[in-house]
Amino acid sequence: MKTSNALLPLLHAYFHDWIAGQRSASRHTILSYRDTWRLFLRFVAKRNQSDVARLTLADLSDQQVLAFLDDLEKTHGRTISTRNCRLAALRSFFEFVADRDPLAAGQCAAVLRIPNKRTPKRTSTYLESEELGVLMAQPDRKTKLGERDHVLLAVLYNTGARIAEALNVRLSDIRLDSPAQVRVWGKGCKERISPLWPETVELLVAFLKRNPVGLGEVIFRNRYGNPLGASGVRFRLKRYLQAAAQKAPRLCEKRVSPHTLRHTAAVHLLASGVDVTISRDWMGHVSLDTVAPREQGTAEMMVNLYRTYSAPLSEEMIFGWHRMSMGGRRDVNDVGCYRTSDEPMQVVSGVIGAPKVHFEAPPSAQVSREMAGFIDWFKHTAPGGTEPLPAPTRAGAAHLYFESIHPFEDGNGRVGRAIAEKSLAENLGQPTLIVLAATILARRESYYHALEAASRQNEITSWLAWFGGVTIEAQRRTLALIEFLIAKAKLFDRLKGQLNERQKKTLLRMFKEGIDGFKGGLSAGKYSAIRGLLRQRRPAIW
């Protein structure tokens, strides 16, 4: 094959036979690669003062590729991520050519040696419950488009779907009777099932009744009846954000896109005590790293607590814990310091859009003085202090005292639980390896009721009784977890060399459910899902 006139046949074979045929790439990948090559060929033709049809393979040198990438950034203002995506599309073609035209191997190798450019890794932005509630209240549900937008935002948050996944949902993908769920097709043609909350089902039922579509048709459409596009969603979302920022000013400081609702769903699931592996499956993430930065920060905080449990509690220690628990977040203004906002700090729980206010913490101007009093009290009630308290009494009172002040903009719960564990460790003279945080989160509803009742009066006996019961339960769960892990290790040691990869995968996935096991037991459907035996074809109707 001559390299001087082989470019056009190679491009045709690459897109039609290789990418679409043998690799079965998704439509989005093909369109992205097509756009890259259209831009690249036009760029090279302009530099060579030639027509695109007259270009040869030899014209597409590594220097041309570098010049093209540089032009994307400097002339057109594209981001480094976009540059790397364009480079990936070009590399894919030259890998294809190198395998088919040995005479062009040197030229292909030069292009393939061009590295990706390092890009700053930004912390994923997410919305607080109050911000999400304000945003979802913006669409005018009395209008057809407003109702559509409200339902779409609800689906994005409920499922954690990517925007392309949500816009591709068809009527045949939705099941509205129990158990309500939606089938989502993600990256790489991967399929997953997401449960639907009753509130989302109610919205979908009303929406589909007013906007009927065929069984195989997408449910979200524009004003002309055509499938809604991602650009249209971003345009509408921008308008809603501008309106929502009037009631939630911090939205102006965040870079919010449709994908932000996906991160919001993941963070809210984790904050509600949902296991990170379940969150990963719900979101369709490939790696735990995409959803667990806050969990990694919490783990760092607990390791620091265990290592310094005997050190006196100080403002610097608490600030350090807060920085660790935030996991590098940039959407919180006051990290590693007390809150400074003039807005009232309310402790809330409940559903998005209808939060229940349990109590209001002291204003920001008083936090520094209140925390100085708390730290002083913590020292005096420690073993060897002037007013020592029993271990469970001190730990429960310390947690309540701290949470009543609520000194931070976010992350008070994590730091408050750490302070309770530090209190127990000081009284016992050694680190307390108990699953206190997980136990409190498992009893979240009763926790807020007990916290609210204790914050309304100086009598905290009922709170201490509740907290003492949780501490005992946490000790029992810790012992059960240790026994579980030992039994797990013994089992794998006994079966060493006898399991194939699929059997290992199945056992490991089952063990991830921990000491509680699968909710409702391990059914045949759950076992099939674990082993990856779900059918690959989407049924026309459920």
Q: What is the pLDDT of residues 501-533, one digit of tens each?
A: 777 777 877 777 777 665 555 555 545 554 443
Sign of CA dihedral 453, 455, 456, 458: positive
For the cut 60, the answer to whether the pLDDT of residue 154 exceeds it is: yes
In contact, 125 and 331? CB cutoff 8 Å: yes
In contact, 42 and 51? CB cutoff 8 Å: no
Q: Does 187 participate in catalysis according to the annotation?
A: yes
The whole-number pLDDT of residue 356 equals: 66
Check residue 5 and give left, alpha or beta (phi > 0: left; psi -120 to 50: alpha): alpha
State the Cα angle at 99 between 95 and 103, rounded to 5°. Answer: 105
Residues with Cβ within 8 Å of 55's Cβ and at least 6 positions away in sequence, in order, are 7, 41, 44, 45, 48
Q: Does 262 participate in catalysis according to the annotation?
A: yes
Closest-CA residue to 40 (of 81, 72, 5): 72
For the cut 50, the answer to whether the pLDDT of residue 288 exceeds it is: no
Among the listed residues 262, 263, 394, 477, the single catalytic one is 262
SS3 (DSSP) at 179: coil
Sign of CA dihedral 428, 433, 435, 436: positive
For the cut 80, the answer to whether the pLDDT of residue 432 exceeds it is: no
Which token pair is 251? Answer: 């939205």
Say which range, 26-30, 40-44, 213-217, has the weakest mean pLDDT: 26-30
Which residue has better confidence, 349 or 509? 509
In contact, 201 and 180? CB cutoff 8 Å: yes
Q: Does 255 participate in catalysis according to the annotation?
A: no
Q: What are phi and psi of 460, to 5 degrees?
A: -120, 20
Say which range, 125-129, 192-196, 267-271, 421-425, has the weakest mean pLDDT: 267-271
Among the listed residues 42, 47, 117, 187, the single catalytic one is 187
The whole-number pLDDT of residue 423 equals: 93
Which residue has better confidence, 384 or 513? 384
**pLDDT above 90 coverage of the chain, percent:** 38
In one letter, which amino acid is 484?
Answer: F
**What distance in Å separates the CA atoms of residue 470 and residue 464, rounded to the nearest whole number?**
10
Which token pair is 188? Answer: 């790489």
What number is the average pLDDT over the span 151-159?
Answer: 92
Among the listed residues 175, 259, 443, 505, the single catalytic one is 259
SS3 (DSSP) at 525: helix
Among the listed residues 83, 86, 150, 162, the single catalytic one is 162
Residues with Cβ within 8 Å of 265's Cβ and at least 6 positions away in sequence, in order, are 156, 157, 158, 159, 160, 282, 283
The whole-number pLDDT of residue 278 equals: 54
In contact, 140 and 146? CB cutoff 8 Å: yes
Residue linked to tokens 């590693």: 336
The whole-number pLDDT of residue 25 equals: 81
Q: Does 150 participate in catalysis according to the annotation?
A: no
Q: Which residues pair with 320 in a beta bridge?
A: none
In contact, 379 and 362? CB cutoff 8 Å: no
The most confident of 260-274, 312-326, 517-531, by mean pLDDT = 312-326
* Helical axes 293-307 vs 258-271, angle rounded to 10°: 40
Q: What is the mean pLDDT of the chain?
A: 82
For the cut 90, the answer to whether the pLDDT of residue 480 exceeds it is: no
